[in-house]
Structure 1
Amino acid sequence: MFVIKHKNIFFFLSGLIVALALFSIFFFGLKMSVEFTGGSLMEVSYSGMGPSAQEVTSRAEDFLGGKSTVQEAGEQGFILRTRELTLEEHEALFSRLSFGGAYIPNEERYTLIGPSIGEELRSKALYAILLVLSGIVLFIMFAFRDSGDKDTHASGPRGWQYGTIALITLAHDVVVPAGLFAFLGSIFVDAEINTLFVTALLAILGYSIHDTIVVFDRVREHVRRDKEERHHEPLSVLVGKSLSATYVRSMNTSLTTLLALLALIIFGDSATF
């Protein structure tokens, strides 16, 4: 009942966070990776000792005259994302990564992504998110289609109302991380929107709707029980009871996920980041 009692505070905080996220998106903009804008992707590894990521970044940027994204891959490997390179630029950059013969680089792969392919990937990523959102909302509307009962005092929400609530919560869960990445992208060069970010968003949607369905099911159960026992409690009270009944489960789900992520941070390879 704590959330219902102080619902205005929680509405204000959620609204403030969403407003800040939207401001961040429109003010800073989302920095797209090479996968979505087009460009070149080169993966190199070094035999024996190799340079640091900072040295590789500096070397690439000095040669190309612009920003390049360098990500560690394995113990002595790096993935470079740059603007679209010509054949001569590609060969010259690879040669410069030997640092005048101080290191021995090996080119593991080189991919050239044209602007049209990047635009196609960007469109497909957006369609994937919209398709998932639509599918989830339609499923919620169907699953809870018989929840409302207009003939009772404590009638629960209708199926379309459950679907609308789910859509709002999912939109919240998409906008907030997108806004955070827009802000981080203005500070850190590595904070880019790529296919992994889209995958993470879809995972967030999965976790979010999983908890939401559990809460909705508790609301439906409490509404049905209230009707049978004729207590005629307000819907806000029934929603408060439903939230209270799911706190522990939600916390356990979050903690389990955090423990798995913590294990990846501690024991995972540097390429995980």
Structure 2
Amino acid sequence: MRFKKEYDFVHLSRYFYVFSIALTVAGLIFLATMGLNYSVDFKAGSNVDVSLSKNLTLEQINPAISDVGISSEPSITIGEKRVNIRYDEVLESDQDAALQTAVKKLDAKASFEINTVDTEMAKELARNAIYAVLISCLGIIAYVSIRFEWRFALGAIVALMHDAFIVVAIFSIFRLEVDMTFIIAVLTIIGYSINDTIVIFDRIRENLRFGKQKTYEDLKILVNKSVAQTLMRSLYTAFTVFIAAFCLLILGGESIKMFSLAMVIGLLFGAYSSIFIASPLWLLLKKRQKLPVKSSTAK
């Protein structure tokens, strides 16, 4: 199944550009004013994950742990027979023992998993996460530049940075928790984004070899034709991974919830970035090498 080759994807891309720019601006504003809601993975503190034998309510847990000698106000998340308690300070051994004693008064069969991150470790994790994203982007730029050309490389890097940033922006706007699994999700999204983009770029390059493009309109037709030829393949791939990520979001545990949510968001935006952002951007850059309008006479 293919879309009609004369379908004007390039013309439609202007609406997606406006939408993406608006969302990017909103994301920048929220990041500048509110930042990200970092989990204990990226800031000093203790994260207490409690497995219960029965369901407890916030009204039961909050009073029970309020008098355990911990000065900072905890962030409490209630799940199905599960409670997550996060503190912005590292718990001492006596505080840890007092907390466990208080919870076990509510549920004697409760089991605890405590993760503690000090200040230096938190800074190192955040720094390494940024390095991982930047190094992967530089590697992609080098690969696409060698395999194709710099215009393809610029289009590809803008598309994948768009996908990654939109996920970060949405997490900032809605104050969703950013942990290590979020970084894994962003790197995975970058991989899927560049895969779809390369498929379309490869078809554009192949069609360039067998066509005689003399004007901008010729290039525009070629881009629309190339996108139409690869569209269903890209949608099938994205949809398959989306279904898996969505099932993990609905049925998976709390530990992978943010990973699954980031994947779902990234796949949705990545589904159109290769088509409506990367390819039209390449066309815009390539236009400088061609006549801006079609010649009025032909020989």
Q: TM-score, normalised by structure 2?
A: 0.74
- Look up the match of 1:188: none
Counterpart secondary structure, 1:234: helix
- Look up the match of 2:73: 66
Counterpart secondary structure, 1:51: coil
Letter in 2 for 1:225: F
- Look up the match of 2:155: 165
- Look up the match of 1:153: none
- Look up the match of 1:88: 94
Counterpart secondary structure, 1:66: coil
- Look up the match of 2:138: 134
Quickly say closer, same or farther: Cα 1:194–1:102, change in 2 above 3 A.
closer
**Identity score, percent:** 28
**Candidates 58, 75, 83, aligned match of 1:78:** 83
Quickly say closer, same or farther: Cα 1:119–1:243, change in 2 above 3 A.
same
Letter in 1 for 2:98: A
Letter in 1 for 2:247: A
**Candidates 29, 32, 35, aligned match of 1:26:** 32
Q: Unaligned 5+ residue runs, structure 2?
A: 1-6, 258-299
Quickly say closer, same or farther: Cα 1:205–1:71, change in 2 above 3 A.
farther
Counterpart secondary structure, 2:38: coil
The yes-or-no answer on 1:212 pairing with 2:212 is no
Q: Which runs of 4+ in 1 moved over 6 A?
A: 230-233
Q: Unaligned 5+ residue runs, structure 1?
A: 145-158, 186-190
**Candidates 152, 177, 181, aligned match of 2:171:** 181
Quickly say closer, same or farther: Cα 1:115–1:224, change in 2 above 3 A.
same
Quickly say closer, same or farther: Cα 1:7–1:272, change in 2 above 3 A.
closer
C-alpha displacement at 1:116, in angstroms?
0.3
- Look up the match of 1:195: 180
The yes-or-no answer on 1:237 pairing with 2:221 is yes
The yes-or-no answer on 1:124 pairing with 2:108 is no
Question: Residues 8-45 of structure 1: CA distance to partner in whole angstroms, max 9, x if unpaired?
Answer: 33322222222222222223211211111111122333
Question: Residues 68-118 of structure 1: CA distance to partner in whole angstroms, max 9, x if unpaired?
Answer: 24364xx634343222222222222222212xx332154443232110001
Question: Residues 200-225 of structure 1: CA distance to partner in whole angstroms, max 9, x if unpaired?
Answer: 10111111111100110011011111
- Look up the match of 2:242: 258
* Distance of 2:252 and 2:27 partners within structure 1: 30
C-alpha displacement at 1:58, in angstroms?
6.4
Quickly say closer, same or farther: Cα 1:174–1:270, change in 2 above 3 A.
closer
- Look up the match of 1:5: 11
* Distance of 1:131 and 1:60 partners within structure 2: 43
Question: Residues 128-179 of structure 1: CA distance to partner in whole angstroms, max 9, x if unpaired?
Answer: 11111111111111111xxxxxxxxxxxxxx111111111111111111111
Counterpart secondary structure, 1:42: strand
C-alpha contact 1:45 1:106 (8 A) present in aligned 2: yes
Compute the RMSD of aligned alpha carbons: 2.5
- Look up the match of 2:211: 226
C-alpha displacement at 1:265, in angstroms?
4.2
Quickly say closer, same or farther: Cα 1:165–1:140, change in 2 above 3 A.
same
- Look up the match of 2:230: 246
* Distance of 2:188 and 2:59 partners within structure 1: 31
Quickly say closer, same or farther: Cα 1:134–1:86, change in 2 above 3 A.
same
**Candidates 106, 109, 113, aligned match of 2:113:** 109
